[in-house]
Chain A
Amino acid sequence: MTTLPQSTHKKLGLAIDLDICVGCHACVINCKEWNTSNYGAPLSDQDAYGAEPVGTFLNRIHTFEVKAADKPAQTVHFPKSCLHCDDAPCVTVCPTGASYKRVDDGIVLVNESDCIGCGLCAWACPYGARELDAAEGVMKKCTLCVDRIYNENLPEVDREPACVRTCPANARHFGDFADPDSNVSRMSAERGAVPLFPEQGTNPVNRYLPPRPKADIQTDGDIDILAPFLDTGSAGKSGSSTGSTSTSAKGLLGWLDKALEAI
C-alpha cells in the first residue's frame, strides 16, 4: 500500500471536448509515438503483424451510440486516458510504492524500477486507464507527457502533452485545474464540465466538456423566412407561354422584374 500526498500544488490535467472530438485517433497514435521513445520502457506491440495484434497504449478512443426516443441515434467518440485522480486508488493499492502522485503537479506516475508488474493498480483503476506492457512487464500509463511539459529542450509553445499538441480538432486542452483562472478551469466552468464516474470517489482531475446544446434549430414547419412572395401574381414579363412551367415560376418572374429594378 502506498500513500498519496495530502495535497498537490497544482492539479495538471486535461479538459477533453466531446463536442468536437471526431474520433480520428490522432491523440492515440501521437501519444504512442512520443511515449514509446521517451519516458520509461517502450510501448511494445505483440504479434504486431500477426493474427492478434495487441500493444500498449496510454490513451484510447471508445465509440458509442446514444439512442434517445424520437431522435436520430448519435455517435459519441470518447477519448480516455489516466485522469490523474486526487484520490487515486491505483496509488494506494500499489504494494511497492512504484505508483505515486507528484506533490508539485498532481501527475500520477509509475516508477518503473520499483514496479513488479503485479497489476493490482490496473485492477483498482475504475477507468481501465493503465496497461501492463507485455514485453517489459511494467505498468504503463499516461504521464501527461511529464518529459514534454517542463522540457527546456522544447520550444515553450510545445511544452504540452503530445496528444494536445497533435489534436486536429482542438478537442484536448492542458492546464492547471487548481488555478481557477487557468484555461482549463475557465473552460470547464463555462461549459459545465463533468468528472468521469464521480461516484467512484476517485476525484479525477481530468474533465470532459459535454457536447454543446445543438445550434438553434427551428422546429420543422416554421418556415416564415421562405414564405413566397409569389402572390404578387404578375406573370413573367413577356407574358408568353411558358409551357409546362408551374404558376410559381410565373410568379417568380414577376417578382424578378421588381427586384432587378431595385438593384
Chain B
Amino acid sequence: MNKHIQPDLDTSPKVSDEIRKTTCYMCACRCGINVHMQDGKVKYIEGNRDHPINRGVLCAKGSAGIMQHYSPARLKAPMKRVGPRGSGEFEEISWDEAFQIASDWMTPLREKHPEKLAFFTGRDQSQSLTSFWAQQFGTPNYAAHGGFCSVNMAAAGIYTMGGAFWEFGQPDWERAKMFMIFGVAEDHDSNPIKLGLSRLKERGAKIVGVNPVRSGYNAIADEWVGITPGTDGLFILSLIRELLAAGKVDLDYLIRYTNAPYLVNCDPASDDHGLFFYDNDGKPQVLDRATGEPLPFDQQGVKPELATDYTHKGTLYRPAFQLMAEKYLVDDYAPENVSERTGVKPETIRRLAAELARTAFDEEIVINQPWTDFRGEKHDKMIGRPVAFHAMRGISAHSNGFQTCRALHVLQILLGSVEVPGGFRFKPPYPKPVTGHPRPHAKPVANSPLNGPHLGFPQGPEDLAIKANGTPARIDKAFTWENPMSAHGMMHMVISNAHAGDPYKIDTLFMYMANMSWNSSMNSRGVMDMLTDKTEDGEYVIPRIIYSDAYSSEMVAFSDLILPDTTYLERHDCISLLDRPISEAEAMCDSIRWPVVEPDRDVRGFQSALIQLGAKMKLPGFLNEDGSAKYQDYADYIVNHERRPGVGPLAGWRGEDEKGSGRGAPNPDQIDRYIENGGFYMDHIPEEALFYKPWNKAYQDWAVERGIFDKPSPYTFNIYVEQMQKFRLAAEGKGELQPPDHLREQLKMAMDPLPTWWQPFEEALVDGEEYPLHALTQRPAAMYHSWGSQNAWLRQIHGHNPLYVSGEIWAEHGFEEGDWAYLKSHHGEIQVPVVRMDALNPNTVWTWNAIGKRKGAWALDEDAPETKKGFLLNHLIHELLPPKGDGLRWSNSDPVTGQAAWYDLRVNIRKAPTPDNLQSEPEVPAQKSPVGQGPKNIRYGKDF
C-alpha cells in the first residue's frame, strides 16, 4: 500500500502576461471577452464580467476561440483562381495585384452600368460601412444575409411595433413571470438568453417552449408545445381569439399606444378602402367618446371608441380594433378547429390563453415611477404585464412567416406587454417608427453614387424597386410585387437570378462571408452548377466572382479572386448603433474589436480592404477633395466617418472633451478610450425613461440628445398595418401603380393589414400523402453555421449530423440503430444516417445545420466525418416552388418579404441499405485545399 503522499503544488501559477479586452465573433452574439496573452500567444479566453451582453459568461464557441484563431483553414494571402471554378486551384498574389484586378473588373462597370456589380455581404456585422460603399459605387444590388435568415422577424417587428426581437429588444428577464419562446436557434444571442432563462427559473417564472424539437431551451422549459412546423401563426391567432372572446385584452393600452382606435375606411368601393381617416394635417383620426367627433389620435384627453360606426360624407369608418375582433372571433380560429393542423390540443390552447391572461392581468406589476407621455399626460406609475415572448427563425423561415411574426407581436400588444415592466423591452436606438426608416433606393446612374440607401421599409407601391419598363431594378428582385417588403434584400436569389440573366445579366459578383455554394443556399448542388456553368463561347455565365473570407470555405473554391480576411482577434470592427446594436433595454451600448494579435499572414480585415479598394477606385465617399484616400483603414473610418454632423459609427467619448455620448466631433483617441473601458461603451437610460419608450417624453428627449433621433419621434403600434393595405388596394385595381395580373390574388391574400395565416406554399403544392413529413434544421449551441467544423474542439462535439426521426416514424419504418434512410422531397433525394428521437413532433425529422462539409474544404481530411456521414438538407430545398401548372415558377419564399422558406420543406422517408463506405449522398467531389490540411495531432498549451 502506498502511503498518502501529497505533493507541494503551486496553487498561484502565473495566469498570463496581459489581458486584452475585445469582442467575440464566434457567432453573432457579440459578447465581451478577456483575451489572456502569454509570450505573444493567446492563452485563454474568458467572458468579460463588465460587458452588458454576457456579464462574464462565455459559451462553447467563444471558449473555443483559440482553435478558430489558430485554425489551419485560415487563408494566408490574396489568391487568384488558376484552375476551373469549383476546383480550388489558386495562386497566391500580392494585395496590390488583387486590388488591381478587382479595380480593373469593377471600375468599368461603374462608368457605364453600376448595376452590373452585385455586392452581397453575408453575415456581415459592418453593414453600415458595406452599404455605404455600395451606395458610393452606385449599384442598386446590395444586401446582407437577412433575406435567408430572419427578415420576417425583423420586418414584422418593425412594421408592427417599431422594433424587433434580439438586437432591437429583449424580454424583461428580471420581471417577467411567464415566458414563451418560439423556434429559436441556440447559437444566436445565446448567452443573453441562457442568462435570462436562468433568472426566470430562479424567480419561479413559467417557461413555455413552442418548437417541434425539444432540445436546448425547450428541454428546460416548464412546458413544451411540440407544434407542427408552419402552423405557429394559426396557434397564435387561436390564442388571440380566446383572449378577445374573453375580453382579456388591455384596452387602456390599446387606446393610448396603438392604432387600434384609428378609424378605417370600410367602403369597399372607395379608393381609400382600408386606409385610415386623416384630418387636413394628415393626422389619423379616432372617434372621441365624449364628443362623438373624430379627433387626432394624439390629442391630449381624447377618449377613443374601439368599436362603432362612423359615417363621414357618406363613407363608413370603423376602428381598426373592431375589424380585428370581427376577423378573429370566427370559428376558423377556434381551438378545436386549429388543433389538428397545429398538433396542439384545444384544451392546451385554451389553458395557455388563460395562463397568459392571468399572468398579464392578475399579476400586474406596478412601479411607482412618474412619467409623462407624448400627449403631455402625466402618469404617476408604470403598469407592467409580466408576460414576455421571444421568437426567431423557427417561425419566420416559412412562406407564412411574416404574418406569423406579426401575429405574435399583435398578441403581445393585446396583452399590453410591450415596453412595460415584465414584458418585451426595446434597446436603443430602438424603438423607432417604421416611417422613420429609409425607403428603398434602386436607381443607378453611371459614375454616381446611388440615390439613397438600398434597403428600407416601403410605405406603399411607390417605394418598390421597379424600373419604368416594369422589370425589377435589383438582381435579387427585392421590393417587387412578388415580395414588396423585402427589407433585407434577397441574397439567396442572387446566384440563380444572375445565372438566369433575370431580370438582367451582371458582370461581377462580390461577396463576403457567406458560404453560398454550400450551406447558405437552397439547392446547393444546383447553385454549384450555376456558378460553374459556361456560355457557348466558353465564358462563365456569371463572369466574375470576388469573395472575401477568413477561412477555406466551400465558397472559396468557386471564386475567381480571393481577398483573405483576418480572424476576429486580428481586426478592427465596430458594433455600431448605426448597424446591429448591442444595447440593453436600460442602456445605449456599442463596442469595438481591435487587433489583440497582429496577423501572421498576408491578410487584411475585409472592411479595411474595402475602404482601400474604394479609394483606389475613386469612390466619392472614400476620397478627400485632393483625391487622396480619406481613410487609411477601418480604424480610421470608425473614428472619423460622420453619417450626420457629429454622429458616427461609435457613440462613446465623442468631441474634444471626450464627453459626447452619441453626438460630438470625431475624437482621434476614441478607440483608445474604448480599449481602456474593456472594448465597449455604455450610457444608462434615466429611471423615468426606462419604460414606455415610444411614448415616453423623457426617453424621446434623451434619445434626441444622443443623436438617436434629430427630433422626438413618438408613434403608435400598428395592430393594423396601413402600408400593407396600400398594396392590397393596388391588387384590387386601385391606384396608378399596378401589379401584374398573375400576382393580384397573392397580394390580396398576403398583404392583409391584419395578421393572418395560410398553408405553407410547398405543403399546399405537393401531395401530402406522397410527402407526409416536415423536415427541419436547427443550429446547435456549440457551432456557428459552417464555421465550427474547422475547430478541433467543437468538431468533437458535433462532428457529424444524423437525421433525427420521431419515435412514430421510427416504428412505422422499422428503423434500427445504425440504419440509413433515403429522404426525398419534390426536388431531390439524399441518403443519410438516422437516429431516433422521441422528444420531437411526430411528423417531423430534423438535423443539425451546416455540419456536412465538402471534401477538401476547411482544411479537413477528405475522410472527416463531416464529409462522410455529414450531410446538408439544402439539397432537398429548391429556391422555386414545384410547378403549379400555370406556366410560371413561383419563388419558395414569403410573399411579403421574400424570406427563404427553408422550413416549409416536405419529405418522405424510407429505409436505405447501409452503404459499404458509410458515405452520405449526394457526395460532391473534393475541392483542392489552398491551405493544405490541418496537423494530425495537436497539444495546444504545451508552450505555456
A53 contact set on B, CB distance < 8 A: 792, 795-796, 799, 864
Q: Which residue of A lies closest to B55 (CB)?
A: A168
Contact, CB under 8 Å: B938 / A2: no
A41 contact set on B, CB distance < 8 A: 939, 942
Q: Which residue of A lies closest to B306 (CB)?
A: A256
Please tell me if B417 contacts chain A, counting CB pairs below 8 Å.
no
Q: Say yes or no: A50-B216 contact (C-beta < 8 A), given A45-B793, A238-B308.
A: no
Q: Which residue of B lies closest to A171 (CB)?
A: B198
Give the contacting residue for B937; candidates A34, A46, A221; CB below 8 A. A46
For the complex, what is the distance from the CA of A198 to the CA of B159, rounded to whole Å?
57
Please tell me if B312 contacts chain A, counting CB pairs below 8 Å.
no
Contact, CB under 8 Å: B57 / A246: no
Q: Say yes or no: A248-B839 contact (C-beta < 8 A), given A2-B1, A47-B937, A226-B242.
A: no
Q: Say yes or no: A165-B46 contact (C-beta < 8 A), given A152-B12, A228-B245.
A: yes
A54 contact set on B, CB distance < 8 A: 796
Contact, CB under 8 Å: A49 / B935: yes
Please tell me if B2 contacts chain A, counting CB pairs below 8 Å.
yes
For the complex, what is the distance from the CA of A252 to the CA of B796, rounded to whole Å?
58
Give the contacting residue for A263; candidates B252, B799, B939; CB below 8 A. B252
For the complex, what is the distance from the CA of A243 to the CA of B323, rounded to whole Å?
11
A71 to chain B, nearest CB (A): 10
Q: Which one of A16-24, A117-125, A174-182, A199-207 contacts B?
A: A16-24
Give the contacting residue for A20; candidates B5, B197, B330, B782; CB below 8 A. B197
> What mask results when residues 237 to 254 of chain B are scored 1 for a CB within 8 Å of chain A, else 0?
000001111111001100
Contact, CB under 8 Å: A166 / B46: yes
> What mask results when residues 160 to 191 of chain B are scored 1 for a CB within 8 Å of chain A, else 0?
00000000000000000000000000100011
A149 contact set on B, CB distance < 8 A: 11
For the complex, what is the distance from the CA of A220 to the CA of B347, rounded to whole Å?
5
B839 contact set on A, CB distance < 8 A: 65, 72-75
Contact, CB under 8 Å: A75 / B861: no
Contact, CB under 8 Å: A170 / B198: yes
Q: Say yes or no: A49-B242 contact (C-beta < 8 A), given A30-B46, A73-B214, A236-B322.
A: no
Contact, CB under 8 Å: B944 / A37: yes
Give the contacting residue for B797; candidates A25, A50, A154, A220; CB below 8 A. A25
> What mask results when residues 818 to 837 of chain B are scored 1 for a CB within 8 Å of chain A, else 0?
00000000000000000001
Contact, CB under 8 Å: B345 / A227: no
Q: Say yes or no: A249-B793 contact (C-beta < 8 A), given A236-B322, A237-B307.
A: no
For the complex, what is the distance from the CA of A233 to the CA of B7, rounded to whole Å?
85
For the complex, what is the distance from the CA of A146 to the CA of B329, rounded to whole Å?
63
Contact, CB under 8 Å: A49 / B861: yes
Which residues 148-180 of A sit at the B interface, judged by CB distance below 8 A? 149-154, 157-158, 162, 165-171
Which residues 632-651 of B sit at the A interface, judged by CB distance below 8 A? none
B191 to chain A, nearest CB (A): 5
B288 to chain A, nearest CB (A): 11
Contact, CB under 8 Å: A72 / B796: no
Please tell me if B43 contacts chain A, counting CB pairs below 8 Å.
yes
Q: Say yes or no: A23-B306 contact (C-beta < 8 A), given A150-B12, A168-B59, A252-B244.
A: no
Please tell me if B44 contacts chain A, counting CB pairs below 8 Å.
yes
B515 to chain A, nearest CB (A): 18
Please tell me if B13 contacts chain A, counting CB pairs below 8 Å.
yes
A51 contact set on B, CB distance < 8 A: 861, 863-865, 868
Contact, CB under 8 Å: A166 / B860: no
Contact, CB under 8 Å: A252 / B938: no
For the complex, what is the distance from the CA of A150 to the CA of B8, rounded to whole Å?
14
B796 contact set on A, CB distance < 8 A: 45, 53-55, 57
> What mask results when residues 221 to 255 of chain A are scored 1 for a CB within 8 Å of chain B, else 0?
11111111110000011101011111011011101
Q: Which one of B352-360, B607-615, B768-776 contacts A?
A: B352-360
B937 contact set on A, CB distance < 8 A: 44-48, 134-135
Please tell me if A9 contacts chain B, counting CB pairs below 8 Å.
no
Contact, CB under 8 Å: B309 / A146: no
A246 to chain B, nearest CB (A): 5
Please tell me if B223 contacts chain A, counting CB pairs below 8 Å.
yes
For the complex, what is the distance from the CA of A67 to the CA of B838, rounded to whole Å?
8
Q: Which one of B60-68, B117-125, B134-142, B678-686 contacts A?
A: B60-68
A251 contact set on B, CB distance < 8 A: 245
B687 to chain A, nearest CB (A): 26
Please tell me if A3 contacts chain B, counting CB pairs below 8 Å.
yes
Contact, CB under 8 Å: B350 / A223: yes
Contact, CB under 8 Å: A226 / B64: no
B224 to chain A, nearest CB (A): 6
Q: Say yes or no: A226-B936 contact (C-beta < 8 A), given A22-B197, A28-B797, A242-B326.
A: no
For the complex, what is the distance from the CA of A153 to the CA of B13, rounded to whole Å?
7
For the complex, what is the distance from the CA of A154 to the CA of B245, rounded to whole Å?
59
Please tell me if B933 contacts chain A, counting CB pairs below 8 Å.
yes
Most buried by A among B6, B186, B243: B6
B856 to chain A, nearest CB (A): 12
Please tell me if B56 contacts chain A, counting CB pairs below 8 Å.
yes
For the complex, what is the distance from the CA of A257 to the CA of B321, rounded to whole Å?
13
Q: Which residue of A lies closest to B806 (CB)?
A: A73
Please tell me if B9 contacts chain A, counting CB pairs below 8 Å.
yes
Contact, CB under 8 Å: A23 / B219: yes
For the complex, what is the distance from the CA of A115 to the CA of B61, rounded to whole Å?
32
Q: Which residue of B lies closest to A34 (CB)?
A: B44
Contact, CB under 8 Å: A42 / B863: no
Q: Say yes or no: A253-B307 contact (C-beta < 8 A), given A25-B782, A55-B793.
A: yes
Which residues 1-28 of B sit at the A interface, judged by CB distance below 8 A? 1-7, 9-15
Please tell me if B206 contacts chain A, counting CB pairs below 8 Å.
yes
B292 to chain A, nearest CB (A): 11
Give the contacting residue for A29; candidates B190, B794, B944; CB below 8 A. B794
Can you identify 10 A-B contacts, CB atoms within 8 angstroms? A25-B781, A26-B62, A30-B58, A49-B933, A72-B226, A147-B9, A168-B190, A226-B350, A242-B326, A263-B252
Q: A36-B939, A217-B222 are in contact. List 18 more A-B contacts (CB 8 A).
A: A23-B781, A25-B782, A26-B60, A26-B781, A29-B61, A50-B861, A51-B864, A72-B839, A73-B214, A76-B219, A147-B11, A212-B201, A214-B222, A225-B358, A226-B245, A228-B247, A246-B330, A253-B325
A-B residue pairs, 7 tightest by C-beta: A49-B934, A220-B347, A37-B941, A97-B2, A73-B838, A249-B329, A168-B194
Q: Which residues of A contact B (CB under 8 A)?
A: 1-5, 19-26, 28-30, 32-34, 36-38, 41-55, 57, 65, 67, 72-77, 94-97, 100-103, 109, 111, 134-136, 146-147, 149-154, 157-158, 162, 165-171, 211-212, 214-230, 236-238, 240, 242-246, 248-249, 251-253, 255-257, 259-261, 263
